[in-house]
């Protein structure tokens, strides 16, 4: 991944962090604290960039309720046609379950 792609990844994560609870998560997340969202920001996954899109494929949760919530977030982000500050569209998908994603890096900087 080049430096510019790493910057795109960080900008995408920051954009989502700022508006996720209000626009993309279900009702039960509307006024939650950062601790409740932490499992979502610790998810690993893969980032693919093209000239017109930034595609995030997130590892799926093993927990059914969290997986359902993650799928809802992906659907709402994709239905909302989120445009990142660089003009590219953000596309989010749920990939493989966590136990098969052990080599995937966390998409959010938690350090």
**Per-residue pLDDT, 82:** 85
**Per-residue pLDDT, 111:** 43
Domain boundaries, the chain: 3-100
**Per-residue pLDDT, 78:** 92
Q: How far apart are the first and last CA of the chain?
A: 20
Length of the chain counted residue by residue: 111
Average pLDDT per consecutive 10 residues, the chain (111 residues; last block may be shorter): 53 58 72 77 86 91 89 90 90 75 50 43
Dihedral angle, C-alpha 83, 89, 90, 95, nearest 10 °: 160
What is the C-alpha separation between 59 and 45, in angstroms, rounded? 5
**Per-residue pLDDT, 44:** 84
- Positive/negative CA dihedral, 67, 73, 76, 77: negative
**Per-residue pLDDT, 3:** 46
């Amino acid at each position: 991944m080049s430096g510019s792609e790493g910057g795109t990844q960080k900008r995408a994560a920051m954009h989502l962090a700022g508006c996720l609870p209000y626009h993309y998560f279900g009702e039960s997340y509307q006024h939650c604290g950062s601790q409740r969202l932490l499992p979502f920001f610790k998810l690993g996954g893969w980032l693919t960039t093209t000239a017109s899109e930034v595609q995030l494929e997130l590892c799926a949760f093993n927990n059914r309720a969290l997986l359902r919530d993650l799928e809802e977030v992906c659907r709402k982000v994709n239905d909302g046609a989120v445009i990142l500050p660089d003009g590219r569209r953000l596309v989010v998908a749920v990939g493989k379950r966590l136990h098969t994603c052990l080599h995937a890096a966390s998409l959010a900087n938690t350090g």
